[in-house]
Amino acid sequence: MMTRVLGILLMLGVFAAGAVFGAGLVREHRPGPPPPHPSPAERLTHQLDLTPAQVARLHELERSHRDELGALMRETMPRIRAVLDSVENELRPMLTEAQRARLDEVQARRPPPDAPLPGMPGGPPPGHHPPPGHRPPPRP
C-alpha cells in the first residue's frame, strides 16, 4: 500500500515538475513573427490529399487567376487597411508607453499601401515576412 502511494506521489511530482518546466520555457521563448500562413493551394493540397498531378494542375489554375485575384486585393486592401488603422488609433490611448512604442515598430515594418502583395505579380512569395525596416518598392 505504501509503495503504491509513493508511486502515485512520484508520478504527481514528475507531472508538476514538467508543468513548471514547460511554463518556464513558454515564458523564455516568446514567439517572434507568426509562422507564414499556408496559401490556399497549400491548404487544399493537404486537406484534399491531392496527388502530384493534381497539385501541378492546381498551381496552373492559381497562376491563371493570379491577376484577377491581385486586382481584387488591390481594390479591397485600402478599405481593409483603413479599418485596421482606425482600430489601432482607437486602441492607442489604452496602451502603455512601451506598448505604444511596440505598435509604432509594428506599423513601421508594414509595407506601404501600394506595395505588391505577397503571392501576386511583383510581390514576395506567399507567407513572406520582410525583415524589420524593409520597404518594398511601390507597384508600377
Are 139 and 115 in contact, with CB atoms under 8 Å apart?
Answer: yes
Which region, left, alpha or beta, applies to residue 127 given φ > 0 means left and ψ of -120 to 50 means alpha?
left
Is 0.75 surpassed by the pTM of this model? no
Quote the pLDDT of residue 109.
Answer: 87
Q: Which of 2-6, 9-13, 16-20, 40-44 has the highest mean pLDDT?
A: 40-44
List, in sequence order, the alpha helices (H) in the chain. Answer: 2-28, 40-48, 52-64, 66-91, 97-109
Kindly compute the dihedral angle of the four CA atoms of residues 62, 73, 136, 121, in this order, to the nearest 10 degrees: 30
What average pLDDT score do residues 58-72 get?
90
pLDDT in tens, 10-26: 566 665 656 655 655 55
Quote the pLDDT of residue 111.
Answer: 80
Quote the pLDDT of residue 102.
Answer: 94
**What cell was used for 112?**
506601404
User: Is pLDDT at 9 greater than 70 in this prediction?
Assistant: no
Are 114 and 22 in contact, with CB atoms under 8 Å apart?
Answer: no
**Interatomic CA distance for residues 4 and 9, integer angstroms:** 9
**What cell was used for 79?**
478599405
Quote the pLDDT of residue 74.
Answer: 84
